[in-house]
Amino acid sequence: MARSAFSRSSKNWKNQPLALSILRLWLGVTWVYAGWNKATDSGFLNAASSHYIGTQLTGYLGHSPISFLLRKMIEHATLVGWFVMLSEFAIGLAVLSGVAISLAAIGGAGMSAMLWLSSSWSVKPYFLGSDTAYLVLWIVLLVLLLQKPRVGKGKGSKGGSIIQEVIPDLTNRREVVRLVGVGVVAIAAAFAGGALKPKIAVPTSGSAIAKLSDVPLGSTYSFTATDGTPAILFRTKAGVFAYSAVCTHQGCVVAYSPSSHLIQCPCHGAAYDPNQGAAVVAGPAPAPLAKINVAISGANIIQI
């Protein structure tokens, strides 16, 4: 009997074409790996790190057509980071297990589209960035999932509406248990990754922030202050000085812009002059950035 490539009643690995198995395996494993990669990255949710989700989003602002949306996301960057990581785990697990797989395919397509419009929008030509390829793979998976059987229609075929195909049947206890199972495993994987990631050392007063040789004259260095907040260190001919990287407006993480020579906030446009005690020179910030006392001690730079 001819059958659809992947009907609602065959959400397992046996009754599907080889091509669909390859597609599910690749997308499922890749999405779980992407989640694991973030869960085990000490910097992904650490505002003092260059890998921090907020720092990554800030880097996309200059070229993304959805920068207005990214600014909103930066305001809640850590929450966005958790959402992205858990979504990647959940989507990957759903695709591998066959639970709410159409919904997972829509989620995967949405994430790939967002990544294309933010991180790889500036990649030219477009085919050098992988996000467009993933977007197409997710759409192909969704189309295959929603294909109706061509033969046997109306004879035992469930053939419901597209919405019925996509939305999990929450009146079915077994389906609900499987959905909860995917969610629980996703959360457990995120915490397992968090337990395995190397801890970032927070300096105590007097301990080295960086080797002097790692911060050349005229450069900046991001570090975590003794109170755990992100901070920016400057080294000039006059010596070293540092400021908290937490914006005094609503707490977004600021970054130094070498082109403007100012410390800028990606959220609402505040700008601070590092050579004037981090005084506010633009935007809604009510006060300068907090100063952090640092000094050169032998071959190191320390917080005092």
Where does this chain bind ligand FES (CB under 6 A)?
A: 247, 249-252, 265, 267-270, 283-285
Q: How far is the CB of 277 from ligand FES (least distance, A)?
A: 18
Tokens of 182: 């995917």
- The residue among 38 and 249 lying less far from ligand FES, judged by its C-beta, is 249
- The residue among 91 and 265 lying less far from ligand FES, judged by its C-beta, is 265
- The residue among 12 and 257 lying less far from ligand FES, judged by its C-beta, is 257
CA distance 294 to 304: 5
CA distance 156 to 51: 52
Give, in order, the Cα–Cα distances in Å from 17 to each of 20, 22, 296. 5, 9, 65
Q: Are strands 300-303 and 291-292 parallel, antiparallel or unpaired?
A: unpaired
- The residue among 35 and 54 lying less far from ligand FES, judged by its C-beta, is 54
Residues 98, 69: contact at Cβ < 8 Å?
no
Q: How far is the CB of 270 from ligand FES (least distance, A)?
A: 4
- The residue among 166 and 253 lying less far from ligand FES, judged by its C-beta, is 253
Q: In what order do the strands lie in the sheet with 291-292?
A: 220-224, 230-236, 239-244, 291-292
Q: How far is the CB of 248 from ligand FES (least distance, A)?
A: 8
CA distance 279 to 263: 10
Q: How far is the CB of 269 from ligand FES (least distance, A)?
A: 6
CA atoms within a 13 Å half-sphere pointing along the CA-CB vector of 39: 23
Class of residue 185 by CB neighbours under 10 A (exposed 0-12, middle 13-18, buried 19+): middle
CA distance 157 to 89: 32
- The residue among 235 and 249 lying less far from ligand FES, judged by its C-beta, is 249
Q: How far is the CB of 60 from ligand FES (least distance, A)?
A: 17
Q: How far is the CB of 272 from ligand FES (least distance, A)?
A: 10
Q: How far is the CB of 260 from ligand FES (least distance, A)?
A: 15
- The residue among 251 and 277 lying less far from ligand FES, judged by its C-beta, is 251
